[in-house]
Structure 1
């Protein structure tokens, strides 16, 4: 879409003079602010660029790099039939599924990105659906953790596309090629096993991923990210 710029036409000389005065004032104010900005920058020289925050009396570095999800749980039950009853109600609107936790059963409404979470939660609240939110964070501390985040994000992209009404299937050839080229970290690394497991899962996906595969994909993502719950 092309956007046209609105061209303001000069009405008379008095208006022109007023505009010139305003422009001069703005230029002076801009120069003054730049001078103050320079002073502030010099004051900050030598300080750490990353922000810190107090957590339980200790300073921790706040990093913008990483991957954050929300797991939205719709119930936690001791009897499977109760979990199935709730899940059946939710599945009419959401991609909910059941995961076993020991001898208990969790109904997971969905796994969503944090930036989409507020809208999703608002929708649940307006419908009177009870839920519990858990935050998942994968910190990019090194290349292996970043690659883990990228791999999970790749699966999440397919997870999200399958939710779209006009998407019947997704060809997985490109995803498999991409995953197959990932090099596992050498030596001992806490993410090495997870990276290998994701690659095995991706290589085992059908040629075309359909909505019938949504639950298996969701459950795999859940089992992979739940260990990173904050």
Structure 2
């Protein structure tokens, strides 16, 4: 991970939570439906917050205290039809979407972490599309933002797994269970956002499919926009 506050170690079986997310790979063949599984290995386990319990060990680490996500905005329009025209011009490469902001409409070319936002920005500009990067920064010294950061980071990785051409669906069960065990935050600026986020995760189906990808990235954006810098 880019930024970590805790190292998560599981004493019982040595498998870090969410270092493996079971992905259901579905394909149709002449003899029927073939179901396979893949293991999505990620270092996100190092990002897990301390949630208590005897099966976990949390070790403090020297780290940067900020977590950053990005989006690339491709226009801000008073008319939805104009926003939709730009959206169509972006194609399907970026999992783009339109968000209503008061009485206007923003066109976003996805949500990104790391260098992916820079790459998308350059590609769009090279195509002659006006674009600007929007950055969201969460302060992990703040309890509210720390928890939102952890949930966002894990959920983002699950959702973007669906970008893999071979992946048709991804299981949410383990992540939903982990989110449910996170401690309740009862005070702090924007604490209500955590409740909204957890409720959304709880109500997810047992697996997400490719057709859910854009809508879930859009939802992540609606959470992160509260931390625009």
Same fold per superposition (TM over 0.5): yes
Q: CA deviation at 1:64?
A: 1.9
User: Is the Cα contact below 8 Å between 1:68 and 1:113 reproduced in 2?
Assistant: yes
Alpha carbons of structure 1 residues 103 and 142: separation in structure 2 relative to 1, 3 Å: closer
1:162 aligned counterpart, secondary structure = helix
Stretches of 4+ moved more than 6 A in 1?
none
Larger radius of gyration: 1
1:180 aligned counterpart, secondary structure = helix
* CA distance in structure 1 between the partners assigned to 2:80 and 2:126 by the alignment: 27
1:226 aligned counterpart, secondary structure = helix
Q: Which has the higher helix share?
A: 1
Q: Which has the higher strand share?
A: 2
* CA distance in structure 1 between the partners assigned to 2:72 and 2:152 by the alignment: 17
Matched, 1:85 2:78: no
* CA distance in structure 2 between the partners assigned to 1:139 and 1:180 by the alignment: 22
Root-mean-square deviation (Å)? 1.6
* CA distance in structure 1 between the partners assigned to 2:226 and 2:190 by the alignment: 12
1:212 aligned counterpart, secondary structure = helix
Higher RCO (CA 8 Å, separation ≥ 6 residues): 2
Any residues of structure 2 matched to 1:1-230 within 5 Å, and which? 64-186=64-186, 188-230=187-229
1:99 aligned counterpart, secondary structure = strand
Q: Return the TM-score normalized by structure 1.
A: 0.68
Q: Deviations over 1:94-133 (max 9, x none)?
A: 2000110111111111111133322222222322222111
Gaps of 5+ in 1: 1-62
Q: Return the TM-score normalized by structure 2.
A: 0.68
User: Is the Cα contact below 8 Å between 1:98 and 1:106 reproduced in 2?
Assistant: yes
Q: Deviations over 1:117-158 (max 9, x none)?
A: 222222223222221111110011134322211011112112
